[in-house]
Structure 1
Amino acid sequence: MNFDEILEKLGEFGRYQKIVYFLAVCLPSVSGGAFMVISVFLLGVPDHRCALPALENDTYEIQNEAHRSLVEIYIPNTDPDDETLLYDRCNYFVYTNDTVTNFTKDSKQKSKCSEWVYSDDIHGKTFATKMNIVCEDRFRISLAKSMFFVGVLFGAFGFGNLSDAIGRKKTLCSAAILMMVSSIGLSWASSYVAYVLIRFCMGASYGGTSCGFIIGMEMVGPRKRVYAGIVTNYFFAFGFILLGGIAYVLRDWFWIELCLSIPTVFYLSYWWIIPESPRWLLRKGRLEEAEMILRRAAEVNKVLLPEKLFDEEAQNTPSTVRIWSLFSSKTLLTRTLILFFNWMVVSMTYYGLSLNTGNLAGDFYLNYFLTAVMDFPAYTLCLMLMDRWGRKKCHCSAMILGGIACLSTILTTTFGGKDLQWLTTTLAMIGKLGSAAAFAVIYVFSAELYPTVVRNAGMGASSCCARIGGILAPYVADSGVLIGGQFGKAVPLVIIGAASVVAGLMSLKLPETLNTRMPDTIADGISFGTTEYNKMADVTLSVEPPSKENITSKL
């Protein structure tokens, strides 16, 4: 038997595979989801103003009338038309006269703040307030957020190559150690540079935990891989919700980070409880070890495997070609560029909307919770509709629906003001729903479009494009803060919406893959979607979903 036939005898998603899938795929996804957007709380910047130079115990909240008078004298609002700005956040007035009674317009001059006071209505203590990353240093927040995604990119490259060389299990355990050390160490970051470097390492470790996804999915049978690949997204979204609940209770960046990082110590036990991928062992010629794992799985699943498991086909590694082959014809070039752009935009919109929570009107924690919850109906709709509507219709509809919803916020913020703030938030949630659904679909859609001989390379390159989108996401989310005012609240959503609509329309040029045999060779990839290909391939009403070798995790 070849390996997929063994999995059919073993049980395509039996008890043993479910245990490995839960431990190696689902639990790391919870941590990954939390760490991916934890900067919303760690780098949150609450309302703030300059600290009064003449007052020792100044607080953002007005304590009494004397306090109010001092604030109005030293730090008045320089833009009365901007209802979102109560005080000048970066400057205060220095008066040339010595007595308060002689304060006049002519006797004052503006000076930059050196100390600030912060509101504690939403956030308690954050790393941004600890380091006073405000005013002209505000750009450093976007940089710190994006460095996590840069780390994911490097981690995906480094740990991905390492997993092929030394094995999935060893690589997963190495990434788990890095995640534990970096996440716990971040709690004690004492400088901005230290924070950025540690977050980079956390991103790299998250990229490395994809090896757990590979272990889990390589042991799932052909007909269960699409569902198993999407179900893990529920755990990723649960990590969002868990983060929000912990942040709501603790309100202090140190305890939030520490509380979420301590459970990563459990991943060290994977060295003893997670098996190596039998597929990888088989490719390395380590047949006895692969057979031992499969027979152990058979015992747990209570099935009986034949005495001889592997045939010559199972022991041969299929030949592949270079990724440059995807650019060898106009047809493949067009499809590849469209996929690359969609991966970048999907990632930018998904993480951009997640990081944009603080820029929405209304209750901060409620908005964050709604943003996280939107993932669940999105993934459920994907499971229900992908095999009915097809991949292209689902992906295009999700991108355009979410894009139009985000674009519409320009109307609600420009003409609605406070009266339509609830509608702006609702449209942003619809945008998150669309981006989450599109993110789930594009994994399967891309894997089914790339020819077998270059599928792994194509999915890896697509994942890199997604990382570029993730790096851009913090800058898009924070663009509204730089602009300010009601219009600034809509700017990130307009950028995200426009990009989503364009990417969704471009995806219409891609062929449908539902109920069609996947292309194997470069020639198949060129003719895929044509009448000639359908006749040659003898299209069936059902086809095996792509294997995990062809579907990478959501790095």
Structure 2
Amino acid sequence: MCESIENQRSKSTENVIDLDRILKDEVGECGLYQMRVLALCAVLCFIMALGGNNYIFFFAKSNTRCLIPECESYSPQLNFTPSWISKAVPAAQGSFDSCHRYANTSVNASDFCSAQLFDRESVIKCEDYVYESKNSAYYEFNLACDDWRPNLIGSVKFIGFMISLPITGFVADRWGRRLALFLTINCSWISCIKYWINSYTSYIILEFLEALIGGAAFSCVFILAIEYVGSKHRAAAGAAMTSFVAMGLTLQSIISWTGIYWRYLILIFNAPLLIVIFCLWIAPESVRWLMSKGRYEESKVILENAAKMNGNILSDKTLKDLSEGLKLEEKNKNESEPWLICLVFSHKRVLFHCILTPFWWITYLFIFYGLTMSAVTISGNMYLNYSAVYAIEIPGHCLAFLLLNRIGRKLLLTSGFWICGACQVIYMLVPHGYYWQSLCIYLTGKLSITVVVTAVYVYTAELFPTRYRTTLLTYSSMIGRLGAIFAPLTPSMSSAIWELLPFVLFAGMAFLSGLLVLLAPETLGVKLPDTMQEANDLGRHSHSSILKPLRRLLFRQKSYTLR
């Protein structure tokens, strides 16, 4: 039933409007008008990235030691390495223990802080702590020797993302990309409130609310960017958006390195987004979305403005087609719109893609964020490591742009996953003490998974139809957040279970996802699907798949029809 309704609606207009042809032959696929839209989207990506994942620096583990009441009383100016420290605290890894001390002997000694005061055979946990660095939430919230609570913030944040994505996707597909973007960017108000928070519990609650409201902002920006350009420029638009995210994250780590008080950094990173909110209304709504909703009159105005700014003009045929599309939509406006889940189950290939793409997202998010969080396991300066891990994303996105339109989506994704998996295996085999060799292999793995980031965003968006693109993209991203939820815990896994456990998981999931990519159709040079039927037909007539027998087995039956 729902399949027949959707087919009637799509067939009534599919031969009237061809937006890809209009962009290519009349408006221009990537002219001045599109560049203006892309510039605004790029600025949004850059500023949003500045405020993303900054908890990594605010809650970075600081060197600590026990407060020794027998030798000192608490003061913010306490010497972190007094001369008597070896008498009271056991040695550990070339320094002294961060979380334990020698027990008191209850002996009255005449000398100040005498060794007789401490039982070197009995080691106990600290009751109070002294911190080497006091410029962090780690110090102010007293998280010494707690490996889990600082990393739990990331997991809670990604749970907020997971809930946010389907809600925002529904809003974007029902009421428009621009409205959804405006609502999600308003999370910057919550981000700034964290400046006044004085407890760990309050901070983690606000981190969750921030993600719940603004977690899908980048998905909205990304969809808006790729829907405004022609098919030849979708990869470039996607790579540009992800590159500006990488630039923002790199600048974030550099600014954090300067030693500015962490509460001031909250305002520096998030306040600029408040200014951008008022600039959003200069961004036009997605023409593809407007057409999918039958709003041809608004589409006509935007396309005419775009053609004029690009130095072109719409043909009489296009203007006539837009008018006919409006008339046809008026005839169909009283028809009930089928439920999305009904449509998905009625189109077997779309259903298969809805099962397949989330695993790519789980893998890429787990590895991408896991490698970022696990940068603390590399010896050397934390800020330098993070800067390198973020900076390597920029050439990764550029490499994805160069290769997406040359070797195709499938080969690039498979190669990216497999190279990343191989790097994890090699990294585990490098002996301790080879810092630069380990860092180079680590960054090569991050580079390859960054290529996957751009490719998987573009590829997933191309597999789903315009009317439901944001909903289905954010659905894949939502399921993928399962990987992102566990990614912040990888440093804790490394210290509590096995040092190399995260890298074993990264390698195994990367190799498996690379295989699963081969089951999907190639979308290089293919018209962006506007209807469910067009999305269902992707790859139907392709004979290039090396897994053709398996694909034939999966799709040998007719599409399901729910009644």
| TM value normalised by structure 1 | 0.81
SS in 2 for 1:408: helix
Task: Give the number of the structure with larger relative contact order, counting CA–CA contacts within 8 Å between residues 6 or more apart.
Answer: 2
Which residue of the partner structure matches residue 411 of structure 2? 393
DSSP 3-state at the match of 2:186:
helix
TM-aligned CA distance change 1:386 to 1:183, over 3 Å: same
Q: CA deviation at 1:44?
A: 0.6
Tell me what 1:31 maps to.
Answer: 47
Q: Which stretches in structure 1 are left out of the alignment for 5+ residues?
A: 536-555
Alignment-derived partner of residue 56 in structure 2: 40
1:49 to 2:65 alignment = yes
Given candidates 188, 195, 200, the residue that maps to 1:187 is: 195
Amino acid at match of 1:16: Y
Match of 1:462 among 447, 470, 476: 476
Q: Which moved more, 1:243-252 or 1:278-287?
A: 278-287
Residue among 156, 175, 187 paired with 2:165: 156
Relative distance call for 1:91 and 1:187 in structure 2 (3 A) is: farther
Equivalence for 1:551 = none
Aligned residues: percent identity? 26
* Corresponding residue of 1:235: 244
Aligned partner (choices 401, 404, 428) of residue 442 of structure 2 = 428
What amino acid does structure 2 have at the position aligned with 1:214?
I
Alpha carbons of structure 1 residues 164 and 327: separation in structure 2 relative to 1, 3 Å: closer
Task: Kindly state the Cα deviation for residue 422 of structure 1 after the two structures are TM-superposed.
Answer: 2.5
Moved more, 354-363 or 447-456: 447-456
2:20 corresponds in structure 1 to 4
**Aligned residue among 366, 373, 377 for 1:359:** 377
- What one-letter code is carried by the residue in structure 2 that aligns with 1:245? I
CA distance in 2, matches of 1:206, 1:220: 25
Pair 1:132 & 2:149 matched: no
Equivalent residues in 2 for 1:244-255, closer than 5 Å: 244-255=253-264
**CA distance 1:449–1:15, change in 2 (3 Å):** closer
Question: What SS does the corresponding residue of 1:361 show, helix, strand or coil?
Answer: coil
Report the number of matched residues.
513
Deviation (angstroms), 1:358? 1.9
Residue of structure 1 equivalent to 2:34: 17
Cα drift, residue 95 of structure 1 = 2.8
Counterpart amino acid of residue 63 in structure 2: D
Residues 338-391 of structure 1: CA distance to partner in whole angstroms, max 9, x if unpaired?
432221011111111112222211122221121112112222222222233232
Distance change (3 Å), C-alpha of 1:167 and 1:283: same
How far apart are the structure 1 equivalents of 2:189 and 2:470?
30
Residue type at the aligned position of 1:87: D
Residue 482 to residue 28, structure 1, CA distance change in 2 (3 Å)? farther
The one-letter amino acid of 1:191's match is: S
Deviation, structure 1 residue 449: 4.8
- Conserved? CA contact 1:323–1:458, under 8 Å: no
Q: How does 1:270-349 map to 2 (within 5 A)?
A: 270-306=279-315, 308=319, 310-313=322-325, 316=329, 322-323=340-341, 337-349=355-367
Give the Å deviation of 1:434.
1.2
Q: CA deviation at 1:212?
A: 3.4
Amino acid at match of 2:66: C
- In the alignment, the residues of structure 2 paired with residue 142 and residue 394 of structure 1 have an alpha-carbon distance, to the nearest angstrom, of 32
Partner deviation per Cα, 1:504-550 (whole Å, 9 max, x = no partner): 23434445444567884586368464579xx9xxxxxxxxxxxxxxx
SS in 2 for 1:147: helix
Answer yes or no: is the 8 Å Cα contact 2:45–2:221 preserved in 1.
no
Shift, 1:246, TM fit:
0.9
Q: CA contact under 8 A between 2:232 and 2:525: conserved in structure 1?
A: no
**2:553 — aligned with what?**
none
Q: Structure 1 209/231 Cα, relative in aligned 2: closer, same or farther at 3 Å? A: closer
- Distance in 2 of aligned mates of 1:168 and 1:330: 27
Mapped to 1, the partners of 2:512 and 2:405 lie a distance apart of 25
Q: In the alignment, residue 39 of structure 2 is paired with which amino acid?
A: F
Counterparts of 1:329 and 1:303 in 2: how far apart (Å)?
Answer: 39
Mapped partners of 2:252, 2:483: distance in 1 = 23
Secondary structure class of the residue paired with 2:68: coil
2:206, 2:534 → 1: CA distance?
42
Q: TM-score, normalised by structure 2?
A: 0.80
Instruction: Tell me if structure 1 keeps the 8 A contact 2:50–2:270.
Output: no
**Cα–Cα, structure 1 residues 445 and 306, in superposed 2: closer, same or farther, change >3 Å?**
closer
The separation in 1 between residues aligned to 2:467 and 2:297, in whole angstroms, is 28
Matches of 2:475 and 2:541, distance apart in 1: 20
The yes-or-no answer on 1:437 pairing with 2:451 is yes
1:495, 1:107 → 2: CA distance? 41
Q: Tell me, yes or no, if structure 1 residue 196 matches structure 2 residue 204.
A: yes
Stretch moving more, 473-482 or 504-513: 504-513
Structure 2 SS opposite 1:103: helix
Contact 1:478/1:492, CA 8 A, preserved across alignment: no
Quote how far apart the aligned CAs of 1:131 are: 0.4
C-alpha deviations, 1:3-41, integer Å up to 9, x for none? Answer: 334433122222122112211x21221133233321220
**1: distance between equivalents of 2:115 and 2:386?**
48
SS at match of 2:424: helix
Deviates more, 1:289-298 or 1:428-437: 289-298
In structure 2, what is the Cα distance between the partners aligned to 1:506 and 1:288? 42
Q: Distance in 2 between matches of 1:530 and 1:305?
A: 37
